[in-house]
């Protein structure tokens, strides 16, 4: 297949390009390096050093014997986007080019507005460009499990049957996002669903859980093929942060009581799922939703798992509770479905503890890079507005 990855320089985009090329797909990519800029803006860097795009593209060619067709461009530049779609004529477009951080979107008005402008208008441009240039292409759009929030009932995959005043319908499951970033993804989902219904486009909207992991098999043997690994309060997701904290002896930063429950999956499995969705496209006019995660854990269970694996490797790890900078329930019901990918043949290959062990091994050599940015661990971006560092709390003694 001819596959275009939007956001090919990112944490997921780069490994996905490598994996799809290893499966003999022809891969092209667009990026304008915003992720690299945001990480500098928040005063951090990738714990695992990554290479320039020129070096990455050369390594790709050395590894696979073919070029990755790359363009430096922004999805807000509609004529650029349209022209590249016309040139490459993709069968599949995998859209990973959004600002992915909840805390970043909550910094202030400017960051909230930037997030929604970048994500919602960028994605709207993708829909229009597909309609105008390649209406039969399959759009795989990265949404988030966070679109659903944490309702007190089970979460289906996108839609549910509902009976109201004696009548029944199949309707979108209510979205209750918990940051301006997560709401931007809800707006994208609505626009994508509408474009499929109105123009007959085909799309898969991936409600992905939290991804963790430091490498995939296709990166082994060439350091230029590594993907980034962020650990700051905005772009580092919870397990990746815990791993970096563990390697430098910083206590694991559990926010609040730590009962927040989410769906998680390792990087390698996320790439496997996106490949399955690519190779099994939706039908013309079909808008389908996949919940993409392996298992649900509380934050406290994750911290305990990191501590347990660390102990096996003779790494002593402390866990501390900090007052929660986010406004979110830290004890709640959470039971989402995840059947659609399984029906396509998905079998998770990597489990939590094996992956934690691999991550600790991968990050140990980069301890000094993490230490250089030790200030990024204690969060100060608060959902109620303003910035104030979270303090350690004894959750047994203090209501949080």
Distances (CA, A) of 339 to 156, 158, 293, 303, 368: 9, 12, 10, 27, 42
Asked if 237 is part of the footprint of ligand USQ (rule: CB under 6 A), the reply reads yes
Cβ 359 to ligand USQ shortest distance, Å = 14
Cβ 185 to ligand USQ shortest distance, Å = 7
CA distance 97 to 142: 9
Q: Which H, E and C letters describe the chain, residue by residue?
A: CEEEEECCCCCCHHHHHHHHHHCCCEEEEEECCHHHHHHHHCCCCCCCCCCCHHHHHHHHHHHHCCCCEEEECCCCCHHHHHHHHHHHCCCEEEECCCCCCHHHHCCCHHHHHHHHHHHHHHHHHHHHHHHHHCCCCEEEEEEEHHHCCCCCCCECCCEEEEEECCEEEEEECCCCCCCHHHHHHHHHHHHHHHHHHHHCCEEEEEEECEEECCCCHHHCCCHHHCCCCCCCCCCCCHHHHHHHHHHHCCCEEEECCCECEEEEEEHHHHHHHHHHHHHCCCCCCCEEEEEECCEEEEHHHHHHHHHHHHHHCCCCCCEEEECCCCCCCCECCCCECCCHHHHCCCCCCCCHHHHHHHHHHHHHHHHHHHHHCHHHCCCCECCCCCECCCCEECCCCCCC
Cβ 168 to ligand USQ shortest distance, Å = 29
Asked if 144 is part of the footprint of ligand USQ (rule: CB under 6 A), the reply reads yes
Asked if 282 is part of the footprint of ligand USQ (rule: CB under 6 A), the reply reads no
Instruction: Count the residues of the shown chain that bind ligand USQ, applying the rule CB under 6 A.
Output: 20
Asked if 253 is part of the footprint of ligand USQ (rule: CB under 6 A), the reply reads yes
Strand partners, 63: none
Q: Quick check: 35 and 51 in contact, CB under 8 A?
A: no
Asked if 97 is part of the footprint of ligand USQ (rule: CB under 6 A), the reply reads no
Asked if 292 is part of the footprint of ligand USQ (rule: CB under 6 A), the reply reads no
Asked if 260 is part of the footprint of ligand USQ (rule: CB under 6 A), the reply reads yes
Radius of gyration, CA atoms only, the chain: 21
Asked if 222 is part of the footprint of ligand USQ (rule: CB under 6 A), the reply reads no
Cβ 156 to ligand USQ shortest distance, Å = 16
Catalytic residue IDs: 144, 181, 185
Query: Residue number with the shortest CB distance to ligand USQ?
Result: 146
| Interface with ligand USQ (CB under 6 A), residue from 120, 130, 246, 254 | 254
Cβ 367 to ligand USQ shortest distance, Å = 18
Cβ 166 to ligand USQ shortest distance, Å = 35
Could you tell me which stretch among 22-30, 235-243, 341-349, 359-367 binds ligand USQ (CB under 6 A)? 235-243
Could you tell me which stretch among 131-139, 249-257, 277-285, 348-356 binds ligand USQ (CB under 6 A)? 249-257
Asked if 393 is part of the footprint of ligand USQ (rule: CB under 6 A), the reply reads no
Asked if 262 is part of the footprint of ligand USQ (rule: CB under 6 A), the reply reads yes
Asked if 321 is part of the footprint of ligand USQ (rule: CB under 6 A), the reply reads no
| Interface with ligand USQ (CB under 6 A), residue from 295, 328, 372, 380 | 328
Asked if 334 is part of the footprint of ligand USQ (rule: CB under 6 A), the reply reads no
Q: Which is nearer to ligand USQ, 11 or 60 (CB)?
A: 11
Q: Which is nearer to ligand USQ, 60 or 173 (CB)?
A: 173
Could you tell me which stretch among 139-147, 190-198, 336-344, 359-367 binds ligand USQ (CB under 6 A)? 139-147
Asked if 146 is part of the footprint of ligand USQ (rule: CB under 6 A), the reply reads yes
Residues that bind ligand USQ (CB under 6 A): 100-102, 144-146, 209-210, 237-238, 241, 253-255, 260, 262-263, 299, 326, 328
């Amino acid at each position: 297949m001819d596959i275009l990855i939007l956001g090919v320089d990112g944490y997921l985009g780069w490994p996905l390009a490598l994996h799809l090329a290893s499966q003999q797909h022809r891969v092209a990519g667009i990026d304008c390096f915003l992720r690299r800029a945001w990480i500098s803006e928040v005063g951090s860097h990738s714990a695992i050093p990554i290479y320039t795009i020129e070096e990455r593209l050369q390594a790709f060619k050395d590894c696979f014997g073919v070029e990755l067709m790359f363009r430096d461009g922004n999805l807000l530049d509609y004529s650029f986007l349209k022209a590249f779609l016309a040139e490459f004529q993709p069968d599949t477009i995998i859209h990973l080019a959004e600002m992915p951080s909840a805390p970043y979107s909550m910094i202030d008005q400017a960051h909230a507005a930037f997030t929604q402008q970048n994500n919602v208008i960028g994605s709207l441009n993708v829909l229009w460009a597909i309609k105008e240039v390649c209406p039969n292409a399959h759009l795989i759009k990265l949404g988030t499990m966070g679109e659903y929030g944490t309702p007190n009932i089970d979460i289906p995959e996108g839609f549910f049957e509902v009976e109201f005043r004696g009548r029944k319908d199949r309707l979108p499951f209510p979205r209750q996002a918990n940051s301006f970033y997560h709401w931007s993804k809800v707006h994208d989902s609505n626009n994508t669903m509408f474009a499929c219904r109105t123009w007959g486009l085909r799309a898969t909207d991936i409600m992905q859980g939290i991804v963790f992991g430091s490498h995939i098999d296709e990166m082994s043997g060439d350091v230029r093929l590594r993907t980034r690994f962020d650990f700051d309060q905005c772009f580092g997701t919870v397990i990746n942060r815990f791993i970096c904290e563990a390697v430098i002896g910083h206590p694991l930063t559990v926010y609040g009581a730590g009962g927040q429950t989410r769906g998680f999956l390792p990087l390698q499995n996320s790439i496997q799922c996106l490949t399955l969705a690519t190779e099994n496209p939706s039908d013309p006019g079909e808008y389908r939703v996949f919940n993409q995660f392996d298992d649900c854990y509380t934050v406290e269970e994750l911290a305990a798992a990191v501590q347990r694996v660390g102990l096996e490797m003779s790494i002593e790890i402390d866990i501390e509770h900090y007052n929660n900078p986010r406004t979110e329930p830290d004890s709640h019901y959470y039971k989402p479905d995840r059947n659609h990918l399984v029906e396509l043949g998905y079998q998770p290959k990597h489990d939590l503890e094996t992956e934690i062990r691999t991550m600790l091994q991968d990050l140990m050599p980069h301890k000094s890079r993490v230490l250089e940015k030790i200030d990024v661990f204690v969060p100060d971006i608060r959902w109620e507005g303003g910035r104030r560092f979270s303090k350690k709390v004894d959750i047994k003694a203090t209501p949080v």
